[in-house]
Every structure is written in structure tokens, then in C-alpha cells.
Structure 1
Amino acid sequence: MNSQIQLIAPKWFVQDELHIIETIVSKTSADTGIVIAGENFDATKRCHPTVRLYMIQLFNDQYEITKELDAFQFDTAEEAQQFCAKLPEMTAIDLVMLMNKEEPVFSI
């Protein structure tokens, strides 16, 4: 959870109407991090609210999205927002389980 970073958002990020919810830069390597992005939290599209995780890397003092790591769909925007709030505190085990569609140790 970082208050100020320079992030270059690609055109497709804006065109897909994604919004950045949180950025997390690695505590062990400031060159790498994750962007937590939200899609359709305002229910204007015909799809479920979706939380997308993107890897970011530092290039020339600016972070760039390098790839999508995973996406999680929810029935409501409230569920998606609750997931986003818990995500930065999640253990690696819980996250790996979720990414493999298994029940996490904690309850969402």
C-alpha cells in the first residue's frame, strides 16, 4: 500500500474502464509490485463486478503493468470491495488457494 507512485496505464486499461483500487509495492524489491484494479463496480456493464490483479515493474522511475496475474468475479460490488480490502493482508497460501479456485483458510 503505497500513497504515491508513478504508474503508466496502458490504453487498454482506460478503454476497459478499469480503475485502480490499490497498489502494493514489494517490501523486498521496490522494483516489483501489484495493482489491484476494479471493473464494473458501478454495474454499468452486463458483467459481474471483477477484481483484477496486475504485476507492475519499475522502468525509468515509473511503474508499468507487465501482465495480468488473475481475475476474480463477484455477485455484487460490495463483495468485490470487501475482497479488495482483505487482499493486502491475505497470506500467500490463501492467495494461491484462491487463484486455484480452492477454498481459502479465511472466509471472504
Structure 2
Amino acid sequence: MSDENNIAIPAELLQDRKVEITFFSEIKKNLGILGLSEQTDAYILHLYRLFYNDSKDKFEPIQQLEAFQFQTESEMHQFIDNLPNISALDMILLMNPSTPPRKPFSFLM
């Protein structure tokens, strides 16, 4: 069930975006995370919650969790590489910053 090719991604989500990463829960086999990137004047990583749709036999994105902005592609990929190791507390703080950090997510790199 946790196969990257087993995700039904709507065409409108993929417009000008690229699949960067997928994670599937070890505990809740019907949940996962999809990371799509896009480049505008910055690099943006959109994280979506995936849910397994039994009737379609596919994972589907059901909710955007957050979008993170980076100045360089390298910064975005460092964040992606560290994403599996980020604690829940750190993720909550990243998703709800009180003030913008001087260097985006520098404590994670």
C-alpha cells in the first residue's frame, strides 16, 4: 500500500510543481505525506496529507498541511533531507513561527 506510484495526484496540484518526497506512516498505514516543490521568485515546498482511499486503491492528497519557502534550491533540499528527523515539537514551531527567522530553518541544517 505504501508505494509512491500508488498516489493519485490531481493534475492541478502538479501544475508547475514537482514531486520531491513521499512518506508513509509506519503506525497508520493509511496515512502519508506528499511534498511538492515549485519555483517562483523563491523555492516553495508544499506538504500535503495523504489518505488511502480503499475504493480507488490509491493514496490521495486530502489537505495541504503547510508551505515552506526557501531562498535556494539547496536550502529546500537540506530541509527535505532533514524532514524525517524533525521532532513534532520542532514541526509545530516551524508551522507557527512568532517571528520570521533570520536564516530560514538554519537550526535544522
TM-score normalised by L of structure 1:
0.82
* Number of positions where the alignment pairs a residue of Structure 1 with one of Structure 2: 100
- Residue equivalent to 1:8: 8
1:5–1:63 CA contact under 8 A, matched in 2: no
Q: Which runs of 4+ in 1 moved over 3 A?
A: 2-5
Deviations 1:59-88 (A, max 9, x none): 032000101000010111111111111111
RMSD over aligned CA atoms reads 1.9
Alignment partner, residue 66 of structure 2:
70
Q: Which ranges in structure 1 are unaligned for 5 or more consecutive residues?
A: none
C-alpha separation in 2, matches of 1:5 and 1:91:
27
In 1, Cα distance between equivalents of 2:13 and 2:4: 19
Alpha-carbon shift at residue 107 of structure 1 (Å): 3.4
Q: Which runs of 5+ in 2 are unaligned?
A: none
CA distance in 2 between counterparts of 1:37 and 1:86 reads 16
Q: What fraction of aligned residue pairs are identical, expressed as a percent?
A: 28
Deviation at 1:14, TM superposition (A): 2.1
CA distance in 2, matches of 1:51, 1:4: 18
SS in 2 for 1:34: strand
**Residues 1:54 and 2:53 aligned together:** no
